[in-house]
Amino acid sequence: MNTFNRQEFASDNYAGTCPEALHWFLEANASGHEPAYGDDRWTQRSTDMLRKLFDIECDVYFVFNGTAANSLALASLCQSYHSVICTPVAHIETDECGGPEFFSNGSKLLVAENTSDAARLGKLTPDAVHTLVTKRTDIHYPRPKVVSITQATEMGTVYSVDEVSAISQMARKHQLKVHMDGARFANAVAHLGCSPADVTWRAGVDVLCFGGTKNGLPIGEAVVFFDRQLSEDFAWRVKQAGQLASKMRFISAPWVGLLENDVWLHNARHANAMAQRLHQGLCQLPGVMCIHTPEANGVFAQLPAKTVDAMQARGWKFYQFIAGGGCRFMCAWDTTEASVDAFLADMHTELAR
């Protein structure tokens, strides 16, 4: 039985695996027996490709998902009495079930104020970092150690290279490390049109969690340490956390498919373009209030409550938990123009009722 489900806008992880990733998954299988736990040639190859992409001899580790990538990366930067500065909408704060705190044995997340224009766009600012670091310096307060930013943000916006640099400079000033949750890093780079190095280590980022899943992999994220001193013992951390795949090649080989011929960038550009199409269509519909212009692959808009219900009754899946009743629509690497247009047509019908 092969029932084709229609495309949804709930999350970019609803999509399947892109053909290039699947090709290398099958190649890795066709090679027969291979050394386990990452000592295979696919892991070596994708690691080398990531080093080339970032133009630096970084340390790379592959894990199953973003929660593990973020949690373990942060744990490697913190002692239990440290804290991590992030926004109120940060995935590490709202959607990882306390994973960062758990894996760091208690490091606390310090959430920035949600009052500035930047905060409405899901962004942290150097000022917000400064305020949190200087608010308390006494022994009774967990000591700030890391700044974590999400690129692209949970609100579908993208930090410019200058914005990342400014945050990193403030972090350095206070002896903090910089972590980037890049679950949608590809979409951010596609928007910026810069090199991946420019918006990461050259802008002061120490560790990047580079998302593969939402970009077209079946599974897997890469934790990329630009400061190799910080990855000391990381391999043991990954193993202890149950994140060391024994058949590692099935996580790492699909990365070859993403990295070869810039498929990661093409996938991201396509998803971003579909978000623009959806945004433009939504903005033209009476009764829809677009919250802000998307920069990555997520669209945010406010719809009348009855339209939300009607669209969901029609079977469309999307989230509506962000930004005070706003709805979120995510586009994926395989979202088609026809799917966007079908969604818009149903919206048009329901709004006219």
Ligand X SMILES: *Cc1c(COP(=O)(O)O)cnc(C)c1O
SS3 48: helix
Q: How far is CA 310 from CA 24, 50, 286, 341, 348, in A?
A: 42, 45, 16, 17, 11
Smallest distance, ligand X to C-beta of residue 211, A: 6
Residues making contact with ligand X (CB under 6 A): 65-67, 91, 150, 154, 181, 183, 213-214
Burial of 139 from C-beta contacts in 10 A (0-12 / 13-18 / 19+): exposed
Smallest distance, ligand X to C-beta of residue 209, A: 7
Whose Cβ is closer to ligand X: residue 43's or residue 150's? 150
Smallest distance, ligand X to C-beta of residue 255, A: 15
Smallest distance, ligand X to C-beta of residue 67, A: 3
Whose Cβ is closer to ligand X: residue 150's or residue 272's? 150
Given the DSSP bridges, would you call strands 298-302 and 326-330 parallel, antiparallel or unpaired?
antiparallel
Main-chain dihedrals φ then ψ at residue 215, nearest 5 degrees: -95, -5
Whose Cβ is closer to ligand X: residue 123's or residue 214's? 214
Whose Cβ is closer to ligand X: residue 66's or residue 196's? 66
Smallest distance, ligand X to C-beta of residue 78, A: 18
Which residue lies nearest ligand X, judged by its C-beta?
66
Whose Cβ is closer to ligand X: residue 67's or residue 76's? 67
Q: Which of 250, 249, 212, 220 is nearest to 333 (CA)?
A: 212
Q: Which of 347, 338, 294 is nearest to 184 (CA)?
A: 294
Assign residue 153 a region: left if phi > 0, alpha if psi is -120 to 50, beta otherwise?
Answer: beta
